[in-house]
C-alpha cells in the first residue's frame, strides 16, 4: 500500500484548520501522513495541530525555523520531510472528499508512467458550492496557458510522484508571495518529456477550494510576483525554438499587472509605481512588449488627473449643487 504525503502550511488558520484536518482523517485510504508546517501563527493554529498530532501518529507538525516567511518555504519544508511515494498539497482552509486519496492513488498505480495527474476541484464560500466553479480545465497547450496567466489548475488538484519532484529538484520559489503555484507548474511544464494526465470530468471532483466572498488582494505582493514571473520565465524560455510564442504569452502577465494597478486605490498606486516601472522595464528588455509602450506612464498620468484635478472639482460641483438645491433663495 503506497504512502501519500499531504503537505499543509498554516498561518493563523484556527478558523478552518480543524475542518481541513478532519477531511483528511475521514479518508477511505489510510496509508497517509499529513505534514502541517506552521508559518509563525499568533492564534491557536499550532495548539489545534498539536492536539490532532497526539491523537493520530500519521499527523506530523513542524515549525518554520528559517527565512523567508511564507507558504512557499513551508511547502518546501514539507517536501524535504515527506516520506510518501506520492505527494499532494492541501491549503489549511480547503477540503478533500472522503475518497480523494484512494482514487488518486488507484489512478497513479494504473498509470505508472505518469509524473503527476490533475483532478477536478470545485470552489465554495459562505453560501455553499459556487455553480460552474470547476478549477481544472482542458487547454490545447498547458505551458502556453500558464505563461499566459491562464492557470488550468490549482495547487491541490495534482497528485505527484515524489521521485519526479526530487530527481528534478522541483521546489517552490521562496521569493514569491503570490503566483507560487503557477511558478512551480510552469517550471515543470517547461520539461519536454514530462508525463501527466488532466482529468476535468465532474467524475473526478475530489477537493474543494474555499473562495471567500470579500477576499482582498495585496497590490504590492501581486505586482512583485508578476515582476518575478516575467524575469524568471523570460530567462527560462530564452533559448526555446518557440521563444516568440512564449514572449507573446508573457504579455498577459504584463497586462495582468496593468489591470491590478488600474483598479487599485490612489494610495496603493502611489506605493507601487516603482514596481510597475520595473515590470515595464523588464517587459521591454525581453521584447515582451514594444519599446514604445508607455502603459504605466498612462496610468500614472490618469491617476494624477483623476485624484488631483477631477476628484476635487467633482467635490466642488457637488457642494455647489447641494447649496443651490437647499438654499431658501430661488434662482431664476
- What's the pLDDT tens digit per position in 138-165? 999 999 999 999 999 999 999 999 999 9
pLDDT value at residue 305: 47
Q: Give pLDDT tens digits along the chain (332 positions).
A: 899 999 999 999 999 999 999 999 999 999 999 999 999 999 999 999 999 999 999 999 999 999 999 999 999 999 999 999 999 999 999 999 999 999 999 999 999 999 999 999 999 998 999 999 999 999 999 999 999 999 999 999 999 999 999 999 999 999 999 999 999 999 999 999 999 999 999 999 999 999 977 777 788 898 999 999 999 999 999 999 999 999 999 998 788 777 777 767 777 777 887 888 888 889 889 999 887 665 555 455 555 445 454 455 555 556 555 555 554 544 33
pLDDT value at residue 270: 74
How open is the CA angle 120-121-124, to the nearest 5 degrees? 160
**pLDDT digit string, tens, across residues 39-77:** 999 999 999 999 999 999 999 999 999 999 999 999 999
Cα–Cα nearest to 24, from 100, 77, 137, 87: 100
Please answer whether residues 278 and 261 qualify as being in contact, where contact means their C-beta atoms are separated by less than 8 angstroms: no
CA 101 – CA 91 distance, rounded (Å)? 15
| DSSP conformational letter for 130 | P
CA 87 – CA 101 distance, rounded (Å)? 10
C-alpha cell at 205: 471532483
CA 134 – CA 86 distance, rounded (Å)? 24
Cα–Cα nearest to 120, from 23, 197, 63: 197
Please answer whether residues 168 and 191 qualify as being in contact, where contact means their C-beta atoms are separated by less than 8 angstroms: yes
Amino acid at each position: 500500500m503506497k504512502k501519500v504525503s499531504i503537505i499543509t502550511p498554516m498561518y493563523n488558520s484556527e478558523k478552518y484548520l480543524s475542518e481541513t484536518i478532519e477531511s483528511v482523517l475521514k479518508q477511505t485510504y489510510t496509508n497517509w501522513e499529513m505534514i502541517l508546517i506552521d508559518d509563525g501563527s499568533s492564534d491557536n493554529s499550532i495548539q489545534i495541530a498539536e492536539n490532532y498530532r497526539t491523537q493520530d501518529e500519521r499527523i506530523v507538525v513542524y515549525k518554520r525555523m528559517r527565512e523567508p516567511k511564507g507558504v512557499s518555504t513551508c511547502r518546501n519544508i514539507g517536501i524535504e520531510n515527506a516520506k510518501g511515494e506520492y505527494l499532494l498539497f492541501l491549503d489549511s482552509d480547503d477540503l478533500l472528499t472522503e475518497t480523494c486519496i484512494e482514487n488518486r492513488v488507484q489512478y497513479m498505480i494504473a498509470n505508472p508512467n505518469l509524473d503527476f495527474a490533475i483532478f477536478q476541484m470545485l470552489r465554495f464560500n459562505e453560501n455553499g458550492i459556487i455553480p460552474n466553479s470547476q478549477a481544472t480545465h482542458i487547454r490545447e497547450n498547458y505551458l502556453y496557458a500558464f505563461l499566459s496567466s491562464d492557470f488550468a489548475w490549482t495547487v491541490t488538484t495534482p497528485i505527484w510522484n515524489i521521485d519526479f519532484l526530487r530527481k528534478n529538484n522541483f521546489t517552490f520559489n521562496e521569493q514569491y508571495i503570490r503566483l507560487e503555484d503557477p511558478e512551480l507548474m510552469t517550471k515543470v511544464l517547461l520539461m519536454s518529456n514530462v508525463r501527466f494526465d488532466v482529468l476535468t470530468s465532474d467524475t473526478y471532483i475530489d477537493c474543494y477550494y474555499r473562495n471567500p466572498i470579500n477576499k482582498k488582494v495585496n497590490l504590492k505582493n501581486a505586482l512583485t510576483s508578476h515582476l518575478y514571473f516575467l524575469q524568471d520565465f523570460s530567462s527560462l524560455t530564452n533559448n526555446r525554438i518557440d521563444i516568440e510564442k512564449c514572449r507573446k504569452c508573457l504579455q498577459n502577465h504584463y497586462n495582468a499587472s496593468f489591470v491590478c494597478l488600474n483598479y487599485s486605490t490612489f494610495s496603493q498606486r502611489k506605493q507601487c509605481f516603482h514596481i510597475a516601472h520595473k515590470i515595464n522595464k523588464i517587459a521591454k528588455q525581453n521584447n515582451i512588449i514594444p519599446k514604445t509602450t508607455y502603459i504605466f506612464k498612462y496610468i500614472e498620468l490618469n491617476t494624477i488627473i483623476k485624484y488631483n484635478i477631477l476628484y476635487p472639482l467633482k467635490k466642488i460641483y457637488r457642494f455647489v449643487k447641494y447649496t443651490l438645491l437647499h438654499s431658501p433663495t430661488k434662482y431664476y
